[in-house]
Structure 1
Amino acid sequence: MKGCIKKETVPPFLTVQLIGDLIILLTIGLPALVLYMMGSPYKTGFFCDDASLKYPYKRNTISDAMLSGVAFGLTIMTLLIVEVLNIFEKKNKRHRCLTRGPFACLKGFGIFLFGFAIMQLFTEVLKNAVGRLRPNFFDLCRPDFSRIDCSQGYITNYTCTNDEHSASTLRNSRQSFPSGHAAFSIFTSMYLVLYIQKRLHISYSHFLKPAMQAALILLSLLCSVSRITDHMHHSSDVIAGIVIGFMVACAVFHSLGIKHLNDQKRKKVSTVEDIEENSTPAVNGHHTPLPLLQNTFTVTGRPNSFPLKYAETS
């Protein structure tokens, strides 16, 4: 398309920048994965009459596998939809230029992966450092109260007697703070909301962009609330997860997304194209030179017609 910047070519995969970014991503992601799979949470105690730990055990409404599949799938689908919707923008050519970058989706997904690794590392480190008991802890652990002297108050010496669940489930019962589901869902929705705000440029609908953003936020809030109704987290755990997901999404997009998804150059190119197409073609039989229009636009901020002095001297 005339006026658009040159189409991006496939960069070589074995570059110093790519290898360095992959190493950094693995450096952050692998510790988070190890903590998620084999982390040893701090062993906190409890009070025998703590009603916040006496909720019954329920199956997850949204499992870890379901959350991961939906979050990654929704991210890929949203990135593709945004770029496809830009193709149908016919009011302004600069928006069609925005879709010429074939790596927009790859860049967006790469930034998403980096932010996810940071968010997951923060969450897992806090889970294991705090070791807060879940609301269904008594039902999962079933400590032997016949061997516990509740008059001592805060109990730290106890043994779980429930053999109906795996060791990983019992370990997970001591990782309530913060909510990983809330952090992941809010991070995903906020990242996509910011991506849509930055990349989606359409004029054929005023409501499509905010409707997409509102739907993403609603889905993440429903996922977060389900952790409370499933008796998997305390309310404060969910709030902490929401804060972590929101802050990481905003920080990562501000530091990386704005830079790598910037469309400033494309806007400048399309502006020159608009000047060329809409300028007054002739004054005294002479055509308006494009370089003069560009200089005039740069100085005054708006294109002027061909100066008469220039026409007379010509």
Structure 2
Amino acid sequence: MHRGDEGSVPASSATGARADPPVCTPFPTIRSHGASVARSHAYDWLALLLLVAVEGLLNAIEPFHRFVGAGMMTDLRYPLKTNTVPLWAVPIYAVIGPIIVFTIIYVRRRNVYDLHHAVLGILFSVLITGVITDAIKDAVGRPRPNFFWRCFPDGIAVFDNVTTGVICHGDASVIKEGHKSFPSGHTSWSFAGLGFLSWYLAGKITVFDRRGHVAKLCIVLAPLLVAAMVAISRVDDYWHHWQDVCTGGILGLVVASVCYLQFFPAPSDDKGFWPHAHFRYIAERQNESQTRRATELLEAMEAGGGGQ
């Protein structure tokens, strides 16, 4: 019996005995349970709004301007190129794309818990990652590999006669971004969103079913490959050092893993197909059904006794 095809928790024993037949329970849909599920997570949605506000504040403040001297320019004179992956594209492939996948699964399975928790989980993943990333960026203030051309757009370097520190005469906003190299935001966001999607797909296609289907593993690794290519583009465009993208990738993947496991069982788990909330819902329905049957039986026994 496939885990994703029934509405109840499959039971099994260590001896391999056949499990008791599940209680048939219809899946909760957006129409039947959407409002109640959203209300039960009202504080989580408020927390997301707070993360958005913090993220905006971190992008508005001036980062720490780390000292850059004349002798440090060797690794900071790379060309100032445009982004291969523009900033506006990141939320499209890292957030909107995965949400489309979640929606397709919902259309096929009609489980509002799965859709709601997947959307909530990925939003937490990318926003927590974004706040951590930008907080570190502002605190570290590491210059980007193309810092020279941000500081001296005309190519004429000016340094302090005493400290040999740079005296920049470029655009203030461009210089500000020049002090935000570590860690890579494109990379951390990519691994946060696409890493969450990878976890989600692993659970949905039961990649760890011990049947040796390598094609399933390819599907799970595909989002991570996209994230890795984005990370490589950041080095190729000379916007980041290799340490920046490595740290960003690890950060995003760790946060994605924690956020996914907050809402879903591990893909290797027997219940890895649906979120934790789905199985709580099934257990509650089963308990209600058993209580109702017990009550009906007791009433029938009392009615029979009274008739004698």
TM-score (norm. length: structure 2)? 0.71
Task: Give, in whole Å, the separation in 1 of the partners of 2:246 and 2:106.
Answer: 33
Q: Specify the alignment match of 1:41 in structure 2.
A: 63
Paired amino acid for 2:100: M
Q: Specify the alignment match of 2:94 in structure 1.
A: 71
Q: Specify the alignment match of 1:213 in structure 2.
A: 220
1:80 is matched with which residue: 82, 99, 103? 103
Q: CA deviation at 1:13?
A: 5.7
* SS, match of residue 232 in structure 1: coil
Task: Give, in whole Å, the separation in 2 of the partners of 1:248 and 1:146.
Answer: 42
Q: CA deviation at 1:29?
A: 2.2
Q: Specify the alignment match of 2:187 in structure 1.
A: 182
The answer to whether residue 267 in structure 2 is matched with residue 257 in structure 1 is no
Task: Give, in whole Å, the separation in 2 of the partners of 1:115 and 1:261.
Answer: 16
Q: CA deviation at 1:207?
A: 4.5
Q: CA deviation at 1:43?
A: 1.1
1:101 is matched with which residue: 105, 111, 129? 111
1:140 is matched with which residue: 150, 155, 170? 150
Task: Give, in whole Å, the separation in 2 of the partners of 1:266 and 1:193.
Answer: 25
Paired amino acid for 2:26: K
Q: CA deviation at 1:4?
A: 3.5
* SS, match of residue 41 in structure 2: helix
- What is the CA deviation profile of residues 128-153 of structure 1, one whole-angstrom value per residue up to 9, with x for unaligned ones? 0011100000111118644522x745
- What is the CA deviation profile of residues 178-216 of structure 1, one whole-angstrom value per residue up to 9, with x for unaligned ones? 000110111122111111122334999934432221211
Q: 1:100 to 1:152 in 2, by over 3 A?
A: closer
Task: Give, in whole Å, the separation in 2 of the partners of 1:188 and 1:12.
Answer: 25
Paired amino acid for 2:87: D
The answer to whether residue 170 in structure 2 is matched with residue 162 in structure 1 is yes
Q: 1:26 to 1:196 in 2, by over 3 A?
A: same
* SS, match of residue 12 in structure 1: helix
Q: CA deviation at 1:15?
A: 7.0
Task: Give, in whole Å, the separation in 1 of the partners of 2:97 and 2:39.
Answer: 31
The answer to whether residue 233 in structure 2 is matched with residue 233 in structure 1 is no
Q: Specify the alignment match of 1:172 in structure 2.
A: 177
Q: CA deviation at 1:252?
A: 1.2
Task: Extract unaligned runs of 5+ from structure 2.
Answer: 1-5, 8-22, 267-273, 284-308
Paired amino acid for 1:74: G
Q: 1:258 to 1:24 in 2, by over 3 A?
A: same
TM-score (norm. length: structure 1)? 0.70
Tell me the percent identity.
Answer: 25
Paired amino acid for 2:160: I
Paired amino acid for 2:43: G
Q: CA deviation at 1:232?
A: 0.2
Q: 1:82 to 1:207 in 2, by over 3 A?
A: farther
Of 221-230 and 3-12, more deviation after overlay is shown by 3-12
Q: 1:11 to 1:237 in 2, by over 3 A?
A: same
Task: Give, in whole Å, the separation in 2 of the partners of 1:209 and 1:227.
Answer: 29
The answer to whether residue 126 in structure 2 is matched with residue 116 in structure 1 is yes
- What is the CA deviation profile of residues 93-123 of structure 1, one whole-angstrom value per residue up to 9, with x for unaligned ones? xxxxxx2413422320111111211111100
Task: Give, in whole Å, the separation in 1 of the partners of 2:100 and 2:158.
Answer: 55
- 2:117 touches 2:263 (CA, 8 Å); kept in 1? no
Q: 1:246 to 1:30 in 2, by over 3 A?
A: same
The answer to whether residue 138 in structure 2 is matched with residue 131 in structure 1 is no
Of 194-203 and 17-26, more deviation after overlay is shown by 194-203
* SS, match of residue 265 in structure 2: helix
Question: Matched residue pairs, number?
Answer: 248
Q: Specify the alignment match of 1:287 in structure 2.
A: none
- 2:125 touches 2:193 (CA, 8 Å); kept in 1? no
Task: Give, in whole Å, the separation in 1 of the partners of 2:194 and 2:69.
Answer: 37
Q: 1:80 to 1:19 in 2, by over 3 A?
A: closer
Backbone CA RMSD of aligned residues? 3.1
* SS, match of residue 21 in structure 1: helix
Q: 1:15 to 1:46 in 2, by over 3 A?
A: closer
Q: Specify the alignment match of 2:200 in structure 1.
A: 195
Q: Specify the alignment match of 1:5 in structure 2.
A: 25
Task: Give, in whole Å, the separation in 2 of the partners of 1:230 and 1:256.
Answer: 36
